[in-house]
């Protein structure tokens, strides 16, 4: 119930305007967001690299409503790639196609993604296409596939275990050698297309991890769920899959202890580092995932 309310609020413009003007929310937001500027984010990435962790930078923004804004976002990603390259940081990027104008024109999003993938390839960087809500899924896969088919194999896709269709998408991409990031899924979806019960999502996630580990090209296991992480490690060990064949991924600010423990054990660990002024919908999805986060904020606000 609380999850649904927070996810509905994540799309509400009035609440967004109020929240982004509310200065005392900022410290709570900083738990999940690396900062509002590229410089803030690069500092976080440098620190992660020092601790043996990799990063994927996400310039926050989604549901772009003008072609100019979409082009500006793509140009900003160019600047991110330049800065990462100049400083020799161990990081790629994550992009949302609705930020690149997917809702306005599929062709525009495709052109901009191709430009970003090309700039990334010149700098030996990887571009992960995030998965958004199910209404955008078919167009997201179309655009991704067209760019992949053009030879940009420094790109990969995120798939969500809560969707019934995901096993078919996984098999299709496994066969083509596409790198898949598997996550549980962060949006409110109807029971007609997604498992409503967490236990079913977890079961599908566990099954898909095994497929990715057995046959995937650089798969990414994106979860903070310790039980599923242990299961992945056990499966990899039992099937002699070396730790450099896959990676674990975490969101910035969540389970830092586990990130470091896995890196110490010799696993590849990448942290998703979101930054930028448009933090509101991302922040609300993080609150929706864990009601305790709302209490954390309330406690923070009530602190003298």
Ligand X SMILES: Cc1cc2nc3c(=O)[nH]c(=O)nc-3n(C[C@H](O)[C@H](O)[C@H](O)COP(=O)(O)OP(=O)(O)OC[C@H]3O[C@@H](n4cnc5c(N)ncnc54)[C@H](O)[C@@H]3O)c2cc1C
Is 134 one of the binding residues for ligand X (CB under 6 A)? no
- Least gap, CB of 49 to ligand X (angstroms): 17
Pairing of strands 91-95, 220-222: unpaired
**Are 132 and 98 in contact, with CB atoms under 8 Å apart?**
yes
Interaction between residue 212 and ligand X (CB under 6 A): no
User: What does the alpha-carbon distance between residue 79 and residue 88 come to, in Å, rounded to a whole number?
Assistant: 14
Q: x-or-dash pattern for ligand X, window 221-250, by CB under 6 A?
A: -xxxx-----------------------xx
Query: In this chain, which stretch among 1-9, 35-43, 77-85, 286-294 interacts with ligand X, using CB under 6 A?
Result: 286-294
Q: How far apart are CA 172 and CA 293, in angstroms?
A: 37
Residue from 109, 183, 181 nearest 139 by CA:
109
140 interacts with ligand X by CB under 6 A: no
Exactly one of 120, 158, 182, 232 binds ligand X (CB under 6 A); which one? 158
One of 111, 130, 133, 202 is an active-site residue; which one? 130
Instruction: Give me the long-range contacts of 261-266 (CB less than 8 A, separation at least 24).
Output: 262/229, 263/51, 263/52, 263/53, 264/52
CB 99 within 8 A of CB 143: no
Q: Please, are residues 229 and 10 in contact by the beta-carbon 8 Å criterion?
A: no
Among 125, 136, 268, 286, binds ligand X (CB under 6 A): 286
Question: Minimal distance in Å, beta carbon 254 to ligand X?
Answer: 5
111 among known catalytic residues: no
**What single DSSP character describes residue 104?**
T
- The maximal CA–CA distance of the chain, rounded, in angstroms, is 57
Residue 155 engages ligand X in binding (rule: CB under 6 A): no
Query: What is the rounded end-to-end Cα distance, in angstroms, of the chain?
Result: 30
Per-residue DSSP letters for 47-76? HHHHTT-EEEEEE---S--SHHHHHHHHHH
Determine if 272 is a binding residue for ligand X (CB under 6 A): yes
In angstroms, what is the minimal distance from the CB of 94 to ligand X? 7
Whichever of 30 and 240 has its CB closer to ligand X, that residue is 30
Please, which residue, 3 or 85, has the CB nearer to ligand X?
3
Minimal distance in Å, beta carbon 237 to ligand X?
21
Closest to ligand X by CB, 119 or 288: 288
Residue closest to 69 by CA, chosen among 288, 276, 303: 276
CB of 205 to ligand X, least distance (A): 7
Q: Does 187 interact with ligand X (rule: CB under 6 A)?
A: yes
Question: Choosing from 16, 125, 128, 181, which is the catalytic residue?
Answer: 181
Position 130 contacts ligand X (CB under 6 A): yes
User: Active site includes 181?
Assistant: yes
Q: Binding-site residue total for ligand X (CB under 6 A)?
A: 23
Other beta carbons within 10 angstroms of residue 276's beta carbon come to: 22
CB of 169 to ligand X, least distance (A): 13
CA 106 – CA 121 distance, rounded (Å) = 22
Q: Using only C-alpha atoms, what is the Rg of the chain?
A: 18
- List contacts with ligand X (CB under 6 A): 130-131, 158, 160, 183-187, 222-225, 249-251, 254-255, 272, 286, 289-290, 293
Hey, which residues are catalytic here? 130, 181
């Amino acid at each position: 119930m609380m999850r649904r309310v927070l996810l509905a609020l994540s799309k509400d413009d009035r609440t967004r305007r109020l929240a982004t003007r509310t200065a005392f929310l900022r410290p709570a937001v900083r738990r999940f967001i690396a900062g509002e500027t590229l410089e803030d984010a690069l500092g976080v990435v440098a620190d992660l690299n020092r601790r043996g962790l990799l990063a994927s930078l996400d310039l926050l923004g989604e549901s772009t409503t003008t072609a100019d804004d979409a082009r500006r976002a793509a140009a900003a990603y160019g600047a991110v790639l330049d800065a990462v390259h100049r400083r020799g940081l161990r990081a790629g990027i994550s992009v949302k196609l609705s930020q690149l104008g997917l809702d306005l024109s599929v062709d525009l999003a495709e052109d901009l993604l191709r430009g970003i993938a090309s700039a990334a390839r010149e700098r030996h960087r990887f571009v992960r296409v995030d998965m958004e809500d199910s209404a955008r899924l078919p167009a997201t896969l179309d655009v991704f596939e067209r760019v992949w088919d053009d030879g940009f194999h420094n790109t990969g896709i995120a798939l969500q275990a809560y969707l019934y269709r995901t096993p078919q998408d996984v098999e299709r991409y496994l066969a083509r050698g596409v790198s898949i990031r598997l996550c549980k899924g962060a949006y409110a979806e109807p029971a007609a297309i997604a498992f409503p019960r967490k236990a079913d999502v977890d079961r599908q996630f566990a099954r898909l991890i095994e497929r990715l580990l057995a046959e995937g090209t650089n798969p990414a296991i994106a979860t903070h769920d310790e039980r599923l992480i242990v299961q992945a490690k056990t499966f990899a060990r039992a099937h002699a899959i070396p730790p450099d064949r896959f990676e674990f991924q975490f969101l910035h600010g969540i389970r830092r202890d586990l990130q470091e423990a896995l890196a110490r054990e010799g696993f590849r660990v990448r942290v998703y580092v979101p930054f930028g002024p448009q933090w509101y919908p991302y922040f609300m999805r993080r609150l929706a995932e864990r009601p305790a986060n709302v209490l954390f904020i309330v406690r923070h606000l009530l602190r003298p």
